[in-house]
Amino acid sequence: MRILADQRIRALFSRIGICIGVFISLSAVMSISLGAKAQLLGIFLISLCTAAAILTFCSIYFREQDKILEDAAAQIKDYIAGDLDARIACDGEGELYHLFHQINSLAAILNAQAENELRSKEFLKGTIADISHQLKTPLAALNIYNGILQGEADGLPVIQEFTSLSEQELDRIETLVQSLLKITKLDAGTILLNKTQEDIADIMGNIRQHFSFRIRQEQKEIHLEGDAACIFACDRIWLTEALENIVKNALDHTQAGDSIQIKWRQLVSMLQITVRDNGSGIHPEDLYHIFKRFYRSRFSKDTKGIGLGLPLAKSIIEMHGGTVGVDSEWGRGTVFVINFLIPTKL
């Protein structure tokens, strides 16, 4: 039997066997040398002693097993808490120690995988930096060349038209490259948030200022409404990036005369931000896909988007421990609701 491979179990069975053997031997002796009444009393006393001995041995065994399991659980908790060198002692024999050995092997495998993942992230981080540097240089050169062509195109409407289109496409390429680099860094886990206490009203004001030229050109409006003293611990640069992507999405799907309303309110344990527009809305077929990368709706007339703004915003919001949801009515408008939990001291 495999259970007998454990030395402690063998010792327990041996002690129980000895107790039973002693009980049988003493019972046989008393049945020969004592009378009937004395035999009953003697056997009763021997039975009590034997039962007490067996219970004592079992109690000792289970206390030892409980101590072994407690030590094993403590090592597992230490490993989960971050002590990657924590291991369970498995210097005995039997199924329990075989299980401990398998757990230790699993911990070693997880450590190796974590090290490989760390190396992969470092490699990816370096690769992203190289790609960023290599792409910025030719894009900057192309923008310069295109600007020179525009300066030389006075009186040449065809060339002016094509250089204008070329500038738009170069801007799209640059936006695509920057978005890809950002979202890849997020995936690689190479971004560390630098959280500070920030005034949400000030962030919203800067976002409206960022789009001020565009809303004047497109005859749209951005309305801000929220608590004047609303402070939130966040990485200002990355949170602004996320909110700007959501506002840009609203601008892309509204027409001249439409408006975008940004509201925020701070509750006891939550900060809520809503971005509402009265634009074209989102078709019901698209609601469950808008946060997928490169997703383009067959119902959308937008030809400028690249399908990375909303996925990037969602990743940044989730890095801040928040959630983002969307509700929309086709042809009537869309509202994005962002919730951030605020830790409270109990």
In this structure, are strands 231-234 and 196-199 parallel, antiparallel, or unpaired? antiparallel
Residue 5's pLDDT band (cuts 50, 70, 90): low
Mean pLDDT value across residues 229-251: 89
Whether residues 209 and 314 fall in one domain: yes
Amino acid in the structure at residue 129:
A
Residue in the block written with tokens 């066997």: 17
Can you tell me the distance from the alpha carbon of 259 to that of 52, in angstroms, rounded to the nearest whole number? 86
Q: What is the mean pLDDT of residues 200-224?
A: 90
Q: Where are the alpha helices (DSSP H) in the chain?
A: 7-33, 36-81, 95-151, 157-188, 200-210, 212-217, 236-252, 309-319
**Which residues have C-beta within 8 Å of that of residue 83, sequence separation ≥ 6?**
none
* Shared-domain flag, residues 79 and 176: no
**Domain-embedded: residue 254:** yes
Residues in the chain: 346
> Higher pLDDT residue, 91 or 166?
166
Domain end residue (candidates: 155, 170, 188): 188
Residue 111 resides in a domain: no
Q: Which two tokens stand for residue 77?
A: 């908790």
The 8 Å CB, 24+ separation contacts for 75-82 are: 76/103, 79/107
Sign (positive/negative) of CA torsion 246, 251, 254, 258? Answer: positive
**132 and 149 part of one domain:** yes
Tell me which of 170, 188, 206 is where a domain ends.
Answer: 188
Same domain as 64, residue 157: no
| Residue 326 resides in a domain | yes
Residues 184 and 204 in one domain: no
Q: What is the DSSP string of 90-118?
A: --S-SHHHHHHHHHHHHHHHHHHHHHHHH
Query: Given pLDDT bands bounded at 50, 70 and 90, which one contains residue 1?
Result: low
- Say yes or no: 176 and 203 in one domain: no
Q: Show the tokens assigned to 270.
A: 């939550």
Whether residue 296 is contained in a domain is answered as yes
- What confidence score (pLDDT) does residue 337 get? 93
Up-side HSE of residue 270: CA atoms within 13 Å toward CB? 8
CA atoms within 13 A on the CB side of 88: 24
Q: Give the chain's domain count.
A: 3
Asked if residue 71 has pLDDT above 70, the reply is yes
Residues 174 and 202 in one domain: no
**Do 314 and 249 sit in the same domain of this protein?**
yes
| 202 and 177 together in one domain | no
Is 101 inside any structural domain?
A: no
Q: Picking from 142-151, 212-221, 308-317, which range would have the lowest pLDDT averaged per residue?
A: 142-151
Considering the domain architecture, whether residues 269 and 336 belong to the same structural domain is answered as: yes
Q: What is the dihedral of CA 305, 311, 316, 322, to 10 degrees?
A: 130
In whole angstroms, give the CA distance from residue 133 to residue 205: 32
In this structure, the answer to whether residues 40 and 146 fall within a common structural domain is no
Q: What is the CATH number of the domain that holds 227?
A: 3.30.565.10
Distance CA 86, CA 75 (A): 6
Contact 253, 302 (CB under 8 A): yes
Give the pLDDT band of residue 147 (cuts 50, 70, 90).
confident
Of the residues 61, 86, 111, the one at which a domain ends:
86
Q: In what order do the strands lie in the sheet with 221-226?
A: 221-226, 259-266, 270-277, 333-341, 322-329
Decide: helix, strand or coil at residue 337: strand
Instruction: Give yes or no for residue 150 having a pLDDT over 80.
Output: no
Residues 291 and 276: beta-carbon distance below 8 Å: no
Residue 255 maps to a domain: yes
Helix axes 200-210, 236-252, angle to 10 degrees: 50
Residue 15 lies in a domain: yes
Residue scoring higher pLDDT (305 or 103)? 103
Q: H or E segment at 296?
A: none
Residue 92 resides in a domain: no
- DSSP state at residue 198: E
Domain that holds residue 142: 128-188
Residue 345 has pLDDT above 50, yes or no: no
Averaged confidence pLDDT in the chain: 81
Our measurement of the distance from residue 99's CA atom to the centroid of its chain's CA atoms, rounded to an integer in Å, reads: 30
The first and second tokens of residue 260, run together, are: 């975008």
Residue 55 and residue 155 in one domain = no
Does position 39 have pLDDT exceeding 90, yes or no?
A: no
Q: Sorting pLDDT into bands at 50, 70 and 90, what band is 14?
A: confident
